[in-house]
């Protein structure tokens, strides 16, 4: 039997590390491809040697402090927020392009290992990512020359993996996923053949990286007395602090040497010091989980059969202690923290391959169907009454079943109006009318009217939130007298032309080993 038959591969495109996976027909589970970096993880870091070549992975990560202007890290946090992540010699790279460099590297390594030519992939994204961030992830795949067959929430992918090694049918679970950059929560009910998402929550700006930063600050305050380190000493310091943090998961204290030019300081960190200086972060985790539970309680759901912990940073003892306190009667399960998301993406990819029936995939195991919900609410800015307050009028609500389609009527305000401007907002509000907040603006949609319509003509705006959580907005004139075109422009997403240009730029650069 061939080791893999599903020609759709999984990719966990993480804030800190990226992995490629495939469904192993013999082991009957997802497996990760080896990275040339050693192990399976490739750091999601890009270093531009000059304007013509780049390096991805460990070496890129290790040069970050020496060449901060030429190294891009943690750009996943910029996905969906901006088109401009780093300027290299006058060329501005988007977070989508930086992600594409990483995708090209990991797919190249996987192709060599598997002797494949990977094209079709499923990419995982934080469940709590915005619609724009999800769309930007698809754009990264396109720039990398991949055919993104679907994107799936990271905790759901992890659930597919855990369910493939230990049947969870009949259980209600919470997946707690604390990675390098994000905290993601999903509640799901697992049936014999289906997985129903029932709630999504999290914090897209809370992850292991924040524990590193707080520990760094505490050590600087204690040992450096306001002095700054030389760049290469700073690089070593940041790496040593992360290593110390990781070792404090298994040990009560850790040591390393802090070098500052000729000076060498022996630094000791204890687990209790680490826990006390990072307490504000643990409080944020507690509040996020509490809000998530409050929402569920309002809907009559008060507990789980299992809480499944994934993501490298969930290994910190403070996290399992917190969850044990919050869910005293629930079994905590921690398995394959670093690889569960990637492995589960491969299981889900197998489902897509089977559904498409394009490949000769064996029918011995059919991964469960995923019934998804929306992580956010979507609406438009509207005046309440002729002279009323301007508010967000939500059209699709958080936790709505996906795909979701909603239409709303608007009226032209003058004869022969040529344009209607609509601002689209994405919030976590659950009520029909929410306060306007420009930080929540997803994009502006312009309805272009071709033809002549009298004042107060009806125009219908359709919102369509796809299975993968990306939103499309369309406009139409219901009586069909004229055509109306709506284009949503987001400050962070690429137009068709920009996609082509950015792909060309990425392809022109040489990837160095």
The smaller minimum CB distance to ligand AMP, of residues 35 and 412, is found at: 35
Shortest distance, position 412 Cβ to ligand AMP, whole Å: 49
Contacts of 156 (CB under 8 A, 6+ apart): 127, 175, 186, 188, 195, 197, 344, 348, 370, 372
Counting every residue, how long is the chain? Answer: 513
Q: How would you class 322 by CB atoms within 10 Å of its CB: exposed for 0-12, middle for 13-18, buried for 19 or more?
A: middle
Q: Which residue is nearest to ligand AMP (CB)?
A: 208
Closest CA to 396 of 405, 387, 384: 405
Q: Are 200 and 208 in contact (CB under 8 A)?
A: no
* Separation of alpha carbons 290 and 296, rounded Å: 10
The smaller minimum CB distance to ligand AMP, of residues 23 and 74, is found at: 74
| Contact positions vs ligand AMP (CB under 6 A) | 14-17, 179-180, 208-209, 242, 245-246, 249, 311-313, 315-316, 338
Closest CA to 313 of 501, 178, 468, 428: 178
The smaller minimum CB distance to ligand AMP, of residues 5 and 236, is found at: 236
Shortest distance, position 63 Cβ to ligand AMP, whole Å: 18
The smaller minimum CB distance to ligand AMP, of residues 39 and 454, is found at: 39
The smaller minimum CB distance to ligand AMP, of residues 242 and 477, is found at: 242
Q: What is the 3-state secondary structure (H, E, C) of 148-214?
A: EEEEEEHHHHHHHHHHHHCCCCCCEEEEEEECCCCEEEEEEEECCCEEEEEEEEEECCCCHHHHHHH
Closest CA to 6 of 19, 22, 26: 22
Fill in the DSSP letter of residue 34.
Answer: P
* Separation of alpha carbons 354 and 20, rounded Å: 20
Q: Are 292 and 199 in contact (CB under 8 A)?
A: yes
The smaller minimum CB distance to ligand AMP, of residues 313 and 380, is found at: 313
The smaller minimum CB distance to ligand AMP, of residues 278 and 354, is found at: 278
The smaller minimum CB distance to ligand AMP, of residues 42 and 417, is found at: 42
């Amino acid at each position: 039997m061939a080791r893999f038959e599903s020609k759709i591969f999984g990719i966990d495109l993480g804030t800190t590390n990226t992995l490629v996976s495939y469904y192993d027909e013999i082991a009957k589970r997802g497996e990760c491809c080896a990275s040339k970096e050693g192990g399976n993880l490739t750091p999601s870091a890009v270093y531009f040697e000059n304007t013509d070549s780049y390096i991805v992975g460990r070496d890129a990560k290790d040069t970050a402090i020496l060449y901060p202007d030429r190294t891009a890290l943690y750009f996943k946090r910029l996905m969906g927020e901006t088109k401009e992540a780093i300027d290299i010699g006058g060329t501005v790279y988007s977070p989508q392009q930086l992600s594409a460099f990483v995708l090209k590297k990991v797919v190249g390594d996987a192709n060599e290992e598997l002797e494949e030519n990977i094209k079709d992939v499923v990419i995982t994204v934080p469940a709590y990512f915005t619609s724009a961030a999800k769309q930007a992830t698809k754009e990264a795949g396109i720039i990398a020359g991949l055919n993104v067959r679907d994107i799936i929430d990271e905790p759901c992918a992890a659930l597919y993996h855990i369910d493939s090694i230990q049947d969870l049918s009949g259980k209600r679970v919470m997946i707690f996923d604390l990675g390098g950059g994000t905290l993601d929560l999903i509640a799901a009910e697992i049936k014999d053949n289906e997985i129903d998402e029932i709630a999504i929550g999290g914090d897209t700006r809370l992850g292991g990286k924040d524990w590193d930063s707080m520990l760094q600050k505490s050590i600087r305050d204690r040992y450096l007395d306001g002095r700054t380190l030389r760049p290469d000493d700073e690089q070593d310091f940041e790496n040593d602090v992360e290593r110390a943090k990781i070792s404090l998961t298994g040990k009560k204290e850790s040591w390393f040497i802090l070098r500052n030019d000729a000076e060498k300081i022996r630094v000791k960190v204890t687990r209790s010091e680490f826990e006390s200086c990072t307490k504000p972060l643990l409080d944020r985790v507690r509040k996020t989980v509490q809000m998530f539970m409050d929402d569920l309680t309002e809907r009559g759901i008060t507990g789980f059969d299992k809480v499944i912990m994934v993501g490298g940073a969930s290994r910190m003892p403070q996290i399992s202690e917190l969850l044990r306190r919050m869910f005293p009667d629930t079994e905590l399960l921690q398995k394959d923290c670093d690889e569960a998301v990637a492995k589960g993406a491969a299981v889900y990819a197998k489902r897509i391959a089977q559904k498409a029936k394009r490949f000769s995939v064996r029918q011995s195991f059919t991964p469960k169907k995923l019934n998804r919900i929306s992580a956010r609410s979507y609406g438009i800015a509207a005046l309440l009454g002729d002279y009323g307050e301007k508010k967000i009028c939500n059209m699709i609500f958080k936790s709505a079943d996906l795909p979701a389609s909603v239409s709303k009527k608007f009226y032209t305000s003058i004869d022969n109006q040529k344009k209607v401007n609509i601002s689209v907002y994405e919030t976590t509000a659950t009520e029909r009318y929410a306060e306007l907040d420009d930080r929540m603006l997803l994009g502006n949609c312009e309805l272009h009217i071709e033809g002549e319509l009298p004042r107060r003509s009806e125009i219908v705006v359709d919102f369509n939130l796809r299975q993968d959580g990306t939103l499309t907005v369309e406009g139409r004139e219901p009586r069909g007298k004229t055509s109306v075109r709506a284009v949503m422009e987001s400050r962070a997403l690429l137009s068709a032309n920009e996609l082509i240009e950015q792909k060309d730029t990425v392809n022109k650069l040489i990837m160095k080993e």
